[in-house]
Amino acid sequence: MPGQILSKRVQEILIDLKWTKETLAEKSGLPVETIKNIYYGRTPDPKVSTVMAIADATGYSMNCLMGKCPHTPKEKAILRNYRSCGEHGKALIELVAKYEAGSVKSERESSQKHLIPCMLPHGDIYKGILYDACETIEIETSIPEAYFAIQMTSNDLAPKYCKGDIILFENRFPKHEENAAFLRGDRAYIRRFLEEDKQYRLKCLHSRDEDIVVKRMDEVEYIGTCCGVVRSYLYLQ
């Protein structure tokens, strides 16, 4: 039924855009009650004008809203983010996608070695890793959860992570007091995640920079949680 299809699409889109039902109502010019009825599947045959208003507000086509879109909302978000990246970001996304699509999951489950992208940062790492100033190479690991890595090119985070160390990350949000990589603006930071009263702290692993404190975790993006370190005295290049 058209109403059920639209309901499911609207639910997915609100998650994708991080909007509330009230936000959609405001941006589309539709009554909040109309949006709620659609959201909960209480509108079996929505008006064309209503679907059009939702399409204009969200940027999704009417065909997509009615289940005729070749891409899901999540796929469209990934494609939209990819197109907005620079050449370095696109190269990193392509590397991850290439190896994930190449049956990497089955290799990980059987504890076989697999290839993952590894960033080689330049400059002062403690100030944040500037994406545009990084090289990206491929490395091999036998840790099943690892999907991404950063190699330390300085002793900025010593003694926790020293020059030559390869930090491996898994794709999950960190728990309290775990080390993880976070993205803020165009810089990536390796910090300890702390849950505090009414705020979150990304604690420095050294004393040369300030902690990052946020009220909500949607103010930063997580890249991954540290799942291992390969100690090394030699560079990969």
Q: Model confidence over 214-228: pLDDT tens digits?
A: 998 888 888 899 999
The answer to whether residue 236 scores a pLDDT higher than 50 is: no
Q: Across residues 166-171, what is the average pLDDT?
A: 94
Return the minimum-mean-pLDDT range out of 114-128, 196-210, 223-237. 223-237
Residues in the chain: 237
Report which DSSP code applies to 236.
-
Q: Which of 3, 9, 1 is nearest to 67 (CA)?
A: 9
Section 171-192 average pLDDT? 91
Helix, strand, coil % in the chain, rounded to nearest 5? 40, 25, 35
- Kindly indicate the confidence band of residue 102, based on its pLDDT and cuts at 50, 70 and 90: low
Question: For residue 170, what pLDDT is reported?
Answer: 94
pLDDT of residue 235: 47
Does residue 232 register a pLDDT over 80?
A: no
Which tens digits make up the pLDDT trace of 113-133?
A: 788 999 898 777 767 888 667
Mean pLDDT lowest among 26-30, 87-91, 174-178: 87-91
Instruction: Look at 59-63, 70-74, 75-79, 96-100 and tell me which has the smallest mean pLDDT.
Output: 70-74
Q: Which residue has the higher pLDDT, 107 or 187?
A: 187
Token code pair at residue 138? 């491929």
Phi (first) and psi of residue 157, to 5 degrees: -110, 15
2-80: CATH, from 1.25.40.10, 1.10.260.40, 3.90.1580.10, 3.30.70.20: 1.10.260.40
Task: Quickly state the pLDDT bin for 25 (edges 50, 70, 90).
Answer: very high
The arithmetic mean of pLDDT across residues 125-153, rounded, is 85
Query: Band of the pLDDT at 175, cuts 50, 70, 90?
Result: very high
Q: What is the mean pLDDT of the chain?
A: 84
- List, in order, residues 6 or more apart from 87 with CB less than 8 Å away: none
d(Cα 27, Cα 58) in Å, to the nearest integer? 8
DSSP one-letter code for 4: H
Q: What is the pLDDT of residue 109?
A: 53
Per-residue pLDDT averaged across 172-194, rounded?
Answer: 91
Helices marked H in 40-193 — which ranges?
Answer: 48-58, 62-65, 73-84, 87-101, 104-109
**Extents of the domains making up the chain:** 2-80, 86-230
pLDDT greater than 80 at residue 211: yes
Report the CATH superfamily, name and number, of domain 86-230.
Umud Fragment, subunit A (2.10.109.10)
Q: Who's near 209: CB < 8 A, 6+ residues apart?
A: 126, 127
Do the beta carbons of residue 122 and residue 133 sit within 8 Å? yes
Percent of the residues in the chain that have a pLDDT greater than 90, as a whole number: 33
Band of residue 53 on the pLDDT scale cut at 50, 70, 90: very high
Give the CA distances from residue 2 to residues 29, 43, 67, 234, in Å, rounded to whole numbers and listed in that order. 21, 9, 9, 60
